[in-house]
Amino acid sequence: MAITHHVKLGKKGEQIAAQFLKSKRISIRELNFRCSLGEIDIIAEQADVIIFIEVKTRSSENYGLPEEAVNYAKQQRLIQLAMHYLQKEGMEDRSCRFDVISILMKNNKPEKIEHIVDAFSA
């Protein structure tokens, strides 16, 4: 099965986001955490806070900004996934937050990276 441009762009964005987070001294716990409920792009940790991160990458703004794709339904799914992860890891008592990393690519390179801290709440 051929990997589509959309999937390649998404994977590249996730790699860029992980590097970006590391440069900000944010520890990566998991990349592409999957379970029966779905997938979380990045799970990170900073100062005892677990951070659930959705990465959105676009090659143009023709269809809107990347972060606009994280709609209410997507937020609710991420919250469910996060609660599942915290329970699975025995970390229900840990503080957590939900961030979005928006990446706009140009000529296969990141033109703009925006890290939206506390983009939404549970």
Cα separation, 85 vs 40, whole angstroms:
10
Using DSSP's 3-state secondary structure scheme, residue 60 falls into coil
pLDDT of residue 1: 44
Mean pLDDT of the chain: 92
Sheet holding 95-106, edge to edge: 27-35, 38-46, 49-58, 95-106, 109-120
Q: What's the CATH number where 44 sits? A: 3.40.1350.10
Model confidence, pTM: 0.92
pLDDT in tens, 26-71: 999 999 999 999 999 999 999 999 999 999 998 888 778 788 889 9
Average pLDDT over residues 5-27: 92
Average pLDDT over residues 100-106: 94
Average pLDDT over residues 70-99: 96
Range of the domain at 15: 5-120
pLDDT in tens, 107-121: 889 999 999 999 999
Structural domains in the chain (count): 1
Tokens of 50: 């677990």
